[in-house]
Every structure is written in C-alpha cells, then in structure tokens.
C-alpha cells in the first residue's frame, strides 16, 4: 500500500513515517499548507512527492490511502474529502470534533465504499491484547477501571489549546482513557466530569471524570496538560486486578510490562519492544485488502466520541449526563 500523508505534524514525522518505513508499505507523498516545509520533510524521509496543499495530494493517482494527522477540528473535513477521492483513510484520533460529526463522517465513508480506521495505536500492541485476554479469561466480575493520561504542554501556541480546532486535554489524551475504559467495561450509561482551564485558552487543561456502566461498574478518567507525564490504567475485578504503566504511548525500543494479581497469584508479564504504529499500519492495510472492518472502525470511533461528548457536556452543565 502507498500512503499519502496530509500534514507534516509531529506525530507523522516521529511515529507514522518510521512505522511505514519499517513495514512492507510506503509513503508516496506528503502535503503541507507550507510547500517548503513539505519539501523539507519529503527530502528528510525520502518521500518521492510533496505538495503545498492537501487538495493537491488527494489528486495524486499514485497513492492508495491517506493518513490524517491534522488538528482534531480538521479530521472530519479531510477524511470526507479523502473518501471523495476514493481513498481509504487512517485518521488520527479522535475522528471528529463531536459524535454527531463522527456519525456523518462514518456514513460518508460507507457511502463512498472506502475503509475508515481511527488511529488508536495502543489497541494494536500485544500487551493491550493480552490485558483484554487476561481480563476476560481470568478476572471475575470486572467492576472498575481507572485510566490516566497527562503530560506537560508548554507551548502556548499549540493547536491543542485551540477551541476552534477542538483542542483540550480530554480530546487529546483523555480520549485514550475513555477508550480503554470502554474496552474493558463496554459503553457507559452516565457521565460526570469537572474541568479546569489553567491557561484561559477556552479548553480544558485538566479533567477528572467518572463513567458509569450497566450493573454498577464505573471508570475514573483523568487527563491533563499541567502535570508530568503519566499514562496508566488499572482494571479491577472481584478476584484481582491488572495494571499497565506507559499504557498508551508505549516505547518502541524498551521492554514493556503488565502486572496482575488474580486469585492471590501475582505475576509480571514482559513484552518485547514493538512499534505499535507499525502494527496499526499493517492492521489497516490488512483490513483494506480483506474488506473486513478494522478493530478501531467508524462505529467504535462514534461510540468513543459519544462518551467524550457526555463528559464534556457534564463539565459544562455541572451535572450528571445520561447517554442515549
């Protein structure tokens, strides 16, 4: 598969381009609104073609699919335009600015007959797969998940602080915490959250939330831009627990671990270094080839966005929100 990349964003340069290079696939073109920047990145990563506009890249007949790492508020628009160009789409999370927009994007891609996948790369890590296997196979009565993703965001001009571009810690990193809570507990029925905007930017820079699920299970969600890096989750059941550190942006060159206690038996499982972005790319290409729905498909993106919307609405209203 030959990819086109819509933007020279940091995640594209640091994670996606190296991941594709390590796979059997290629990047044939990259675009930026700044033509010189596109040229420089293309030269640095040996990408054959570069464009000074996203529209020009979508007209490149050599590419099979596009990767969309644009700011959150632009994901939906350019995923639709890529689908109009008959290109399959791997879009960074979250798929759109809200659940309503996400539904429209999913339907648009379905009508155009293109594969759509949301880029939650941690879902493709063998450790995540093992955590799910362990929880479903050995934990009884899973009733609680706590998930946190925080890091220090220092640049006051960062697009993640822009309300117009659907910024905020919940949308940027809290979406991972919501995703992993749903992975183990399903879709929530109610949400409550409180937020703080320490920069006066008009977006949350710190969020604490609770999701409530059928049968009394619950998840505690935390995200933020004002703390040192922490990314972890813990799953609790009647007979034990599972804990994962460095849970979402896992290192590609270090061993990773999963810790658990089940029925009084404690264990640590170690996983060899792996590039989860490469695994994501390969899973996407496989879904395109087979015609099967990706693991993180459009329906999954909409469901995650519904929970995110409920947390945001709760924080705004100062009360519990019930999900439809």
Contacting residues for 261 by C-beta, under 8 A, at least 6 apart: 240, 241, 267
* Alpha helices (H) along 69-151: 72-84, 99-112, 126-137
Q: Round to whole Å and give the CA distance between 305 and 284.
A: 20
pLDDT at 297: 98
Q: Round to whole Å and give the CA distance between 316 and 324.
A: 18
**Dihedral angle at the C-alpha atoms of 126, 131, 132, 136, nearest 10 degrees?**
140
pLDDT at 146: 98
Coil vs helix vs strand at 234: strand
Q: Round to whole Å and give the CA distance between 176 and 174.
A: 5
Whether residue 237 contacts residue 255, with contact meaning beta carbons closer than 8 Å, is answered with: no
> 303, 291, 256, 315: which is closest to 120 by C-alpha?
303
Instruction: Show the CA angle centred on residue 316, arms to residues 76 and 319, nearest 5°.
Output: 125
> 139, 143, 211: which is closest to 178 by C-alpha?
211
Whether residue 126 contacts residue 252, with contact meaning beta carbons closer than 8 Å, is answered with: no
Q: Round to whole Å and give the CA distance between 95 and 90.
A: 10
Here the tokens at position 211 are 């999701």
Single pTM value for the model: 0.97
Walking along the chain (324 residues) 10 residues at a time, the average pLDDT comes out as 97 98 98 97 98 98 98 98 98 98 98 98 98 98 98 96 98 98 98 98 98 97 98 98 98 97 98 98 98 97 98 98 94
Question: Could you give the angle at which helices 72-84 and 99-112 cross, rounded to 10 degrees?
Answer: 20
Largest CA distance in the chain: 60
- In this structure, what DSSP letter does residue 170 have? I
Coil vs helix vs strand at 14: helix
Q: Round to whole Å and give the CA distance between 21 and 57.
A: 20
pLDDT at 324: 82
Topology of the domain comprising 122-279+303-322: Dihydrodipicolinate Reductase; domain 2 (3.30.360)
pLDDT at 130: 98
Enumerate the domain spans of the chain: 2-120, 122-279+303-322
Whether residue 65 contacts residue 284, with contact meaning beta carbons closer than 8 Å, is answered with: yes
- Point out which residues pair with 258 in neighbouring strands: 269
Whether residue 324 contacts residue 124, with contact meaning beta carbons closer than 8 Å, is answered with: no
Q: Round to whole Å and give the CA distance between 189 and 313.
A: 14
Query: What is the CATH number assigned to the segment(s) 2-120?
Result: 3.40.50.720
């Amino acid at each position: 598969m030959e990819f086109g990349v819509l933007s020279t964003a940091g995640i594209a340069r640091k994670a996606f381009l190296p991941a594709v290079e390590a796979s059997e696939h290629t990047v044939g073109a990259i675009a930026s609104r700044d033509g010189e920047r596109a040229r420089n990145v293309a030269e640095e990563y040996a990408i054959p073609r570069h464009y000074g506009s996203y529209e020009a890249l979508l007209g490149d007949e050599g590419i099979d699919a596009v990767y969309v790492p644009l700011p959150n508020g632009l994901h939906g628009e350019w995923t639709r335009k890529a689908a109009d160009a008959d290109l399959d789409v791997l879009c960074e999370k979250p798929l759109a600015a809200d659940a309503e927009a996400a539904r429209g994007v999913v339907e648009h891609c379905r009508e155009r007959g293109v594969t759509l996948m949301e880029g939650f790369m941690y879902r493709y890590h063998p450790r995540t797969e093992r955590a799910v296997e362990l929880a479903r196979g050995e934990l009884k009565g899973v009733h609680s998940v706590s998930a946190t993703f925080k890091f220090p965001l220092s640049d006051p001009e960062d697009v993640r602080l822009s309300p117009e571009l659907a910024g905020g810690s919940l949308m940027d990193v809290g979406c991972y915490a919501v995703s992993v809570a749903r992975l183990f507990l399903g879709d929530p029925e109610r949400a409550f959250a409180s937020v703080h905007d320490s920069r006066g930017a008009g977006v949350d820079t710190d969020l604490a939330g609770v999701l409530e699920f059928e049968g009394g299970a619950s998840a505690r969600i935390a995200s933020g831009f004002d703390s040192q890096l922490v990314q972890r989750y813990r799953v609790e059941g009647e007979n034990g627990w599972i804990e994962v550190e460095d849970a979402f942006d896992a290192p590609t060159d270090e061993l990773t671990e999963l810790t658990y206690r089940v029925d009084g038996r404690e264990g640590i499982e170690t996983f060899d270094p792996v590039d989860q972005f490469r695994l994501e790319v390969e899973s996407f290409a496989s879904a395109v080839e087979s015609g099967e729905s990706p693991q993180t498909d459009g329906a999954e993106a909409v469901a995650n966005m519904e929970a995110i919307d409920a947390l945001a609405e709760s924080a705004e209203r100062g009360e519990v929100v019930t999900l439809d």
